[in-house]
Amino acid sequence: MAKHLTMEERKRLSELHAALQSQARIARQLGRHRSTICRELARNRERFAYCPLVAQQKAEERRRQRPLVPKIERPEIIEQVRRGLKQYHSPDQIAGRMKRDHPLPQARVSRQTIYHWIHSRPLKEDWGRYLRYAQHNQRGNQRSIVHPVVIAGRPAEANERRCLGHWEGDTLLAARHRGGLVTLVDRKSRYLLATRTKDRKARRVRHKLQQLFHQIPLSKCRSATFDRGQEFSEHELLTARTGVAVFFADPYCPWQRGTCENTNGLIRQFFPKGTPLNDFTPRRLAEAVLLLNQRPRRILGYLTPSEVFHDQPPCAIET
């Protein structure tokens, strides 16, 4: 697919055109197809003169007026997405297969784009039912959060992991509601805090989060990012009690809280799924958290989360 001429190319085209060079020769010197030069001169020159500045302005105006069709709405792409979902392929599998079958970026979309498309559909187009975890059934929970501050408003220092004190939080429940955990993990250092909970009621979870934040200095309590489960619906009260700014990931986008999701997997090494979490003692949880915080991590240059969290100032900026 041909790309638009740049301003530099238009300046060079103007010089060669004024020198009465043929379109074929101009195309060779610019490394463009002859038809590209022919269309450019036909569209953007005025009478016999070609001005690069005027040509650039005309091209930009046409681009602004052109109705843009999202790539995923193209018939050939959306058909592949729908066919894959009907076969219970995950968005990651669909996107990965498209990348393998279609090397050109114009002919494929990412898994994030597919997720966003699924959950932007009207309720009558319930494509979420084809997802592995039947996330379409969670829509009621996703809408229960009042006045959520979306993750797009999170400061750059949190997104880029420049500062300590930006946390991701979650809850882990055992099967049949046999206890659970409330967890916080620092995005920069991967330092973990965790406590037990009987259930995921909003008031109890908010109280547990307050207890965790009160264990650390205020300078390292900057923000927290959660999913949109009902257990975090008292986020405004949490901010009032702790001073921690709360942000919410977009619906069905677990990769926006990837640090927390990865840490949950590490916790499961000590408490596998199905483990009755109300049976173990606080000491056993503390031992597991300590082991994780003292485990060298490749992403930290084989320092431990504890070393990074305690040895660096809150706003140490990476160089």
Q: What is the mean pLDDT of residues 117-134?
A: 74
Closest by CA position to 114, among listed 86, 139, 137, 92: 92
What does the block give as tokens for 308?
């990074």
Q: Answer with the residue of higher pLDDT: 134 or 78.
A: 78
Q: What is the mean pLDDT of residues 223-248?
A: 94
Q: pLDDT class for 302, splitting at 50, 70, 90? A: very high
Q: pLDDT class for 211, splitting at 50, 70, 90? A: very high
Cα gap 255→253, rounded to integer Å: 5
Q: What is the pLDDT of residue 296?
A: 93
Q: What is the pLDDT of residue 137?
A: 43
At residue 33, φ and ψ (nearest 5 deg) are -75, 150
Q: What is the pLDDT of residue 68?
A: 63
What does the block give as tokens for 3?
């790309």
Q: How many CA atoms lie within 13 A of 156 on its CB side?
A: 1
Q: What is the mean pLDDT of residues 236-250?
A: 94
- Would you say residue 69 has pLDDT above 80? no
Q: What is the mean pLDDT of residues 51-70?
A: 79
Q: What is the pLDDT of residue 251?
A: 83
Pick the CATH number of 151-311 from 3.40.50.300, 3.30.420.10, 3.50.50.60, 3.10.450.630: 3.30.420.10
**DSSP string covering the chain, please?**
-PPPPPHHHHHHHHHHHHTT--HHHHHHHHT--HHHHHHHHHHH-BTTB--HHHHHHHHHHHHHHSPP--GGGSHHHHHHHHHHHHTT--HHHHHHHHHHH--SGGG---HHHHHHHHHHS-TTS-GGGGSTT-GGGGHHHHTT-SS--BGGGS-HHHHTT-STTEEEEEEEE-GGG--EEEEEEETTT--EEEEEES---HHHHHHHHHHHHTTS-GGG--EEEE-S-GGGTTHHHHHHHH--EEEEPPTT-GGGGHHHHHHHHHHTTTS-TT--TTSS-HHHHHHHHHHHHTS-BGGGTTB-HHHHHHHS-TTPPP-
Q: Answer with the residue of higher pLDDT: 316 or 106.
A: 106
- Would you say residue 215 has pLDDT above 80? yes
Q: What is the mean pLDDT of residues 152-163?
A: 92
Q: Answer with the residue of higher pLDDT: 130 or 276.
A: 130
Closest by CA position to 181, among listed 197, 192, 168: 197
Q: What is the pLDDT of residue 116?
A: 83
Give 195's contacts (C-beta < 8 A, 6+ positions apart).
181, 182, 208, 211, 212, 285
Indicate the average pLDDT of the chain. 85
Domain boundaries, the chain: 7-65, 71-132, 151-311
Q: What is the pLDDT of residue 43?
A: 84
- Would you say residue 142 has pLDDT above 60? no
Tens digits of residue pLDDT in 159-174 = 999 999 999 999 988 7
Sign of CA dihedral 28, 31, 37, 39: positive
β-pairing verdict for 180-186 and 192-197: antiparallel
249 exposed, middle or buried (CB, 10 Å; 0-12, 13-18, 19+)? buried
Q: What is the mean pLDDT of residues 226-232?
A: 92
Q: pLDDT class for 220, splitting at 50, 70, 90? A: very high
